[in-house]
Chains A and B, each alone.
Chain A
Amino acid sequence: MSARTSPARDLVYFVIFAAAVLTMPVWLAPIGAGYPDLLQKFAIYGLFATGFNLLFGLTGYLSFGHAAFLGVGSYTAVWSFKLLGMNPIPAVILAVVAAGIFALAIGFVSLRRSGIYFSILTLAFAQMSYNLAYSVLTPITNGETGLRVLRSDPRIFDAADGAEGALVSTLFGIEMNGYAGFYFCAVILIAGFFIAQRIFRSPFGIMLRAVKSNQNRMTYTGLNPRPYTLAAFVISGMYAGLAGSLLCITDPLAGAERMQWTASGEVVLMTILGGAGTLLGPLLGAGLIKYFENIFSAFNEQTLHSIFSFLPDFLETPVVGLMSLFVGEGWQLTLGVLFMIIVIFLPGGIMEGVSRLGRLFKGSDKPSAADKGRVEAAAE
């Protein structure tokens, strides 16, 4: 918004981002993350965190119930498969609409309060949705078994095809798993990032930052904060619904555990870890957490022994013993330690680290065009 942001710079930034996302299979391969399942997760949870950041990063309202919208998106997508057919496009559209309506209802009630009371209200709504999905709503959600597409489902538009073989979402004959699934998610992520970037730079975006900064001044400036926060809540709920539908497009199964409070907490962690209120931060946070979840949890003592084999035996055993606490089943311990370090030393998340590094290299506080992190921090 200041002199440092300009349409040209944002375009460059966006093109670099799009290129980086599309080439992820290449540059993530050396660190063992170049396989489609994980790449899909990066894109999907990146989208989820980007949407969450539009609410939390801009307005400062901390929702602890965003997993509910993820779940609604997932169930809607599976129902779209069941009723309309395996094409992902209606699934995506219907999931976004359903999550938006759901967010409108929850937001309308929850936004009557702010601060911790807002967080508790959203948490309560999400847990309520989770428990309903598990019990009362079984006819819609199929309870604890999870909702899946069956051969006997009507699938109006493609009931004739796919009489045999696994039921996967198919876009114009391309099955939405593996790399095709990743590229579908990647394109939607890039579109989602573009919209988020526009919102950050728009009059609407600055009003959301005004909500975070001083609601009292806003009220006496002739602005009603409530519709602004509600709009932000609905938009971020739609992002979550979109992410939920992508989870089902790459794997057509929706379970209630997707709505549990731990899932809501995860997106909060992603956003804070990466840097709330920055465009790129939540994506980095989502990537980091999903990486730890998938790569670190796969480490076992065998791997550790081979890594530390250069140590003498009397050292190797205790070192491996200690390190094994932090990998495999214990990967969350590593994540916890990392989270604490970042929150204590870099309250602005990874993006603050990036911008500090940028300033260090520049040796001055002048922003440079090449330095993405600095530009991003300045845009806050």
Chain B
Amino acid sequence: MEILKVSGVNKSFGGLRALNNVNFAVEEGTVHAIIGPNGAGKSTFLNCMIGRLAPDTGTVMFGDISLTGMKPFEINQVGVSRVFQTPEIFADLTLLENVMIPTMAKRDGIFSLNGFRRLDRDAEVRDKALHMLEDVGLAEKKDMHSGSLSRGDKRRLELAMCLSQDPKLLLLDEPTAGMSRADTNNTIDLLKRIGDRGITKVIIEHDMHVVFSLAKKVTVLAQGTIIAEGKPEDIKGDPRVQEAYLGGAHL
């Protein structure tokens, strides 16, 4: 079953055509990678899916919900979470608080005026958040301020935050950008483990190692157009992809 279906999306910035009639579908429970050279329109495409940008034409369907025109927080509330290229966390707060916030957002909705209840008495939220921190191996750092974490740990924290909401679809924008090889491998392992829970993932990635370790299906975007789509092995050998992505060099 298709969990996400993008049909006929166009997006222009002034004279620049960033996305040209993009059709794209993600099967439920799979890991789908979007690759492409710099400036191919990958981030624009992601932003159109998540509500940060409004596509000029076309529709984005999540199950039977149309995401076009919805605000980012509404899209999150129907079950789509996003990991950013640079980890976006609450740097002034502790790790535990960082994970409690999305947990409460999932339970209490877009806005709730709980001004008189004590947060430290809310065992449900606390336990869930602790459990998520354990999952990503950050439980012993729960009272630390998250701003002082390493890049790799920030990424793990951000993943824990997204996972605490039990999303149906997880969008990852270059999850290993700027990471050391060791951190990259840790992140791959973590993402593989999450894969076992059946969360559908869309990954935008530069690093071929990450793409080929994780993705079941790869879509190649170049100059705003999808030029190829298929299994990783097929994509690797596709001459059009090599031409667009690597300027003809051999992969």
Residues of B within 8 A of A202 (CB): 114-119
Which of B72, B90, B117 is close to A220, meaning CB atoms less than 8 Å apart?
B72
Stretch at the interface among A137-145, A208-216, A254-262, A295-303: A208-216
A-chain residues with CB within 8 Å of residue B116 when the two chains form the complex: 198-199, 202
* A-chain residues with CB within 8 Å of residue B111 when the two chains form the complex: 223-224, 227-228
Q: Is the CB of B94 within 8 A of A2?
A: yes
B-side contacts of A212, CB under 8 Å: 92
Check A220/B119 contact, CB under 8 A, given A2-B96, A210-B93, A214-B91: no
Residues in B with CB closer than 8 Å to A216 are: 88
Interfacial residues, chain A to chain B (CB-CB below 8 A): 1-3, 5-7, 198-199, 201-207, 209-210, 212-214, 216-224, 227-228, 231, 235
B93 — which chain A residues lie within 8 A by C-beta? 206, 209-210, 213
Give me 16 A-to-B residue pairs in the complex whose CB atoms sit less than 8 angstroms apart, sorted by A's number.
A2-B96, A198-B118, A199-B115, A201-B118, A202-B114, A202-B115, A202-B117, A203-B119, A204-B113, A206-B100, A209-B93, A218-B73, A219-B73, A220-B88, A223-B110, A224-B73
> Chain B contacts of A235 at CB under 8 A?
115
- Residues of the A chain whose Cβ atoms lie less than 8 Å from the Cβ of B92: 209, 212-213
Report Cα–Cα, A149/B43, bound state, in Å. 65
- Nearest Cβ in chain B — how far from A264, in angstroms? 25
Taking CB atoms, residues of chain B closer than 8 Å to A210 are: 90, 93, 101
Cβ distance A225 to chain B, nearest Cβ, rounded Å: 9
Q: How far is the CA of A7 from the CA of B122 in the complex (A)?
A: 12
Q: Given that A213-B92, A228-B111 are known contacts, is A222 also in contact with B102, CB under 8 Å in the complex?
A: yes
What's the least CB distance linking B158 to chain A, in Å? Answer: 8
Interface residue stretch chosen among B74-82, B202-210, B221-229: B74-82
B96–A231 touching, CB < 8 Å: no
The CA of A206 and the CA of B108, in the complex, are separated in Å by: 14
| Nearest B residue to A60, CB-CB | B92
In the complex, chain B residues whose CB is within 8 Å of the CB of A7: 118, 120-121
Instruction: Give the chain B neighbours of A6 by CB distance below 8 A.
Output: 120
Q: Does B176 contact A (CB under 8 A)?
A: no
Inter-chain contacts of A213 with B (CB < 8 A): 90-93
Shortest distance from the beta carbon of A369 to any chain B beta carbon, whole Å: 16
A residues less than 8 Å from B76 (CB atoms): 219-222
Interface contacts beyond A199-B116, A221-B105, A223-B73: sample of 16 additional A-B pairs, CB < 8 Å, sorted by A: A2-B94, A2-B143, A201-B119, A202-B116, A202-B118, A202-B119, A206-B100, A206-B101, A207-B104, A213-B90, A217-B161, A219-B76, A220-B81, A222-B77, A223-B110, A224-B111
Residues on the A chain within 8 Å of B73, using CB: 218-224
- B236, CB-defined interface residue at 8 Å: no
Residue of B nearest to A198 (CB): B116
Q: Mask for B16-31, Cβ within 8 A of A = 1, else 0? A: 0000000000000000
Contact of B143 (CB < 8 Å), options: A3, A203, A218, A222: A3
Q: Does B215 contact A (CB under 8 A)?
A: no
Task: Please give, as numbers and ranges, the residues of chain A lying within 8 Å of B71 by CB-CB distance.
Answer: 219, 224
Neighbouring B residues of A220 by C-beta, 8 Å: 50, 72-73, 76, 81-82, 84, 88
Q: Closest approach, in angstroms, between the C-beta of A124 and any C-beta of chain B? A: 27
* B174 contacts across to A, CB distance below 8 A: none
In the complex, chain A residues whose CB is within 8 Å of the CB of B118: 7, 198, 201-202
Pick the 3 closest A-B CB pairs, nearest first: A222-B76, A213-B90, A203-B114
The smallest C-beta distance from B92 to any residue of chain A, in angstroms, reads 4
For A205, list chain B residues within 8 Å (CB): 115, 119
Q: Chain B nearest CB: distance from A62 CB in Å?
A: 16
Residues of A within 8 A of B112 (CB): 203-204
Give chain A residues whose Cβ lies under 8 Å from the Cβ of B89: 214, 217
Q: Judge whether B110 and A221 touch: CB under 8 Å.
A: no
B88 contact from A206, A214, A224, Cβ within 8 A: A214
CB within 8 Å for A224 and B110 given contacts A206-B100, A210-B90: yes
Residues of B within 8 A of A5 (CB): 120
Distance (Å) between the CB of B99 and the closest chain A CB?
10
Complex Cα distance, B158 from A214, in Å, reads 13
Distance of A121 from chain B, by nearest CB (Å):
22
A221 adjacent to B101 (CB under 8 Å)? yes
B197 shortest CB reach to chain A, Å? 19
- Shortest CB-to-CB span from A376 to chain B, Å, is 16
Contacting residues, chain B, for A222 (C-beta < 8 A): 73-74, 76-77, 102, 105-106, 109-110, 165
Most A CB within 10 A of own CB, among B50, B74, B82, B92: B92
* Contact of A221 with B115 in the complex, beta carbons under 8 Å: no
B residues in contact with A204, CB < 8 Å: 112-115
B166 to chain A, nearest CB (A): 12
Determine the residue in chain B with the shortest Cβ distance to A5.
B120
Complex-state Cα separation, A224 to B76, whole angstroms: 11
Give the CA-CA distance A199 to B114 in the complex, in Å.
8
Identify the interface centre among B74, B111, B112, B125: most chain A CB within 10 Å of its CB: B111
Residue contact A221 to B161, C-beta cutoff 8 Å: yes
* Residue in B closest to A223 when the chains form the complex, CB atoms: B105
Chain B window 159-180, contacts with chain A (Cβ cutoff 8 Å), 1 for yes, 0 for no: 0010001000000000000000
Chain B residues with CB under 8 Å of A224's CB are 71, 73, 110-111
A residues less than 8 Å from B97 (CB atoms): 1-2, 206, 209
Question: Min CB distance, A129 to chain B, in Å?
Answer: 27
B46 to chain A, nearest CB (A): 12
Q: Which of A203, A217, A218, A223 contacts B122 (CB 8 A)?
A: A203
Hey, which chain A residues are within 8 Å of B115, CB to CB? 198-199, 202, 204-205, 235
Q: B72 near A1 (CB under 8 angstroms)? A: no
